[in-house]
Amino acid sequence: MIRPDALSAWQEAVLRAIRDWIAETGEDPSVRQIGGRVGLSSTSSVAYRLGRLEDRGLISRIGRRRRSCRLST
């Protein structure tokens, strides 16, 4: 049984990609950059997964700016 608060493998991969990108570049990744890291070419698929992480309070996104995905503190 999966715990309701447990992250899916995709959520973990996206969160790790965001953390790694910020650590390497010092800036927030774009949706395309996140997709490239996790193997998703569809920006809508990445946006969907980002939405789930945002719903859980793990990230925050501001508008539709190019670099609008940040880790929540």
Domain positions in the chain are 9-71
Sign of CA pseudo-dihedral 11, 23, 34, 31: positive
pLDDT tens, 48-73? 999 899 899 899 887 665 556 767 65
- Which phi and psi (to 5°) does residue 5 adopt? -95, 0
CATH 1.20.59.10 fits 9-71, yes or no: no
Amino acid identity, residue 73? T
Q: Judge if pTM exceeds 0.85.
A: no
Per-residue pLDDT tens digits for 21-43: 999 999 889 899 999 999 999 99
